[in-house]
Structure 1
């Protein structure tokens, strides 16, 4: 019987489980670590996708049922944090706690335009049409000017998207929380919650994390200084220690 806590790592838009490699190697001695490709990215087919976060949370529930994990800790980045919130709401008995990294619980007008623009690009020109946008998005995820980190992330994003329908599905799912924000529901999350923001994150700024932390009872909020959106790369040591200390303290 594996008595180590199970930590499930959930990636963001246009990514795969490989985005977590710096975390997996650090966390594995302490936790049972599960990382997977969200529907439509990497090795996971798009299938009969319905463009909702609820379906993406249901996918995770089926995966964990197959692994017979029992209750788990969810560690979600950006879109993965949105999936984590939905999962904690829909499957409270399966959720020991959540660590939400650079995430949000709602999508405002600016964010809606962001996703609508990418949907239009894909619908008109297929995957090739967003290569340049994807590269720009990747660079925008970093506060650092370390080109090696940025190039590593660019390559990961390009490799993540094999099916345009998968990218479209994720964009529609994020637009879904523009129309139906999670914010009014978050008071129902009663498990331990740790919200982590990057000081200079342009996509999910600290105010977005504060909105989540204010809505979830007794949530903890931490802001990592001098980093952008991709803390797994820019501040991996700090992030790894935050994740480990929070989970092991409960």
Structure 2
């Protein structure tokens, strides 16, 4: 399937994205140590019903770094700017870090982020996770080779079913990190989420929200999804069975079907 590749200037950065399919616009935001291609297997299953836009985050892959602030707020502004410039009001699907960005953007601009779907996402970062991100930032700055090894170990732990894909996915994730400035910026944003959790703000989101959780995700466990559900009692909830944190690798067909169901249920 042909993925049309484009670039657009938004604020201080040039955003690289792909477009495929036809129908209502849906914007896909990847997680940490990923890029827009991580959505390929998903958007190809949705392209018959939706126009799917997959975006590289600030400093990741082919999107420029600009003047990074290491904040969720800035990353949310990047998404809002993209939607305003390229798609108009759209549903947005965010995975892990991407889900945090989508929720922050929906808080800021419910007119543009008209439906938020968040997968493998937490609204807060605990002290242990903060320390994890700080250590990864320092390792990437001082010893990129060792960082790549640690990222490969993480990838191994995030894939439950598709064990034959671990090495291939790990190599793709290391390549997505590249020189690391985008990863460092985004990891700093996650550290900040530990100091200023989003949980208490989520009830103010005016857009419909749907939560997707993988039943074998140890990186973003059930308690994270429960926290989101408690903060947003009107949110929809879906579960992807037989998947670890990397749902798009473990269960791509089921994951795509789940996203499709969430999107279709909200179309009036």
Q: Same fold (TM over 0.5)?
A: yes
Q: Does 1:48 align with 2:63?
A: no
Offset at 1:129? 3.2
Aligned-pair RMSD on alpha carbons?
1.5
**Which consecutive aligned stretches of 4+ in structure 1 deviate over 3 angstroms post-superposition?**
none
Please say if residues 40 and 163 of structure 1, whose CA atoms lie closer than 8 Å, have aligned partners that are also in contact. Answer: no
Offset at 1:167? 1.4
Q: Which residue of 2 aligns with 1:8?
A: 27
Offset at 1:3? 8.4
Q: Deviations over 1:142-191 (max 9, x none)?
A: 122x3332123112101101222221111101111100100010001122
TM-score scaled by length of structure 1: 0.94
Offset at 1:19? 0.5
Question: Which of 10, 22, 34 is residue 41 of structure 2 equivalent to?
Answer: 22
Q: Which residue of 1 aligns with 2:112?
A: 94
Offset at 1:120? 1.8
Question: Which of 131, 136, 143 is residue 160 of structure 2 equivalent to?
Answer: 143
Question: Which of 20, 26, 33 is residue 52 of structure 2 equivalent to?
Answer: 33
Q: Which residue of 2 aligns with 1:74?
A: 92
Distance 1:122 1:11 in 2: 20
Please say if residues 91 and 115 of structure 2, whose CA atoms lie closer than 8 Å, have aligned partners that are also in contact. Answer: yes
Q: Does 1:118 align with 2:118?
A: no
Distance 1:123 1:23 in 2: 32
Q: Which residues of structure 1 form unaligned runs of 5+?
A: none
Distance 1:3 1:20 in 2: 16
Q: Does 1:163 align with 2:182?
A: no
Offset at 1:124? 2.3
Please say if residues 141 and 230 of structure 1, whose CA atoms lie closer than 8 Å, have aligned partners that are also in contact. Answer: yes
Q: Which residues of structure 2 form unaligned runs of 5+?
A: 1-20
Q: Which residue of 2 aligns with 1:133?
A: 150
Q: Secondary structure at the match of 1:92?
A: coil
Of Structure 1 and Structure 2, the greater strand share is in: 2
TM-score scaled by length of structure 2: 0.88
Question: Which of 202, 210, 235 is residue 226 of structure 2 equivalent to?
Answer: 210
Matched residues, number: 246
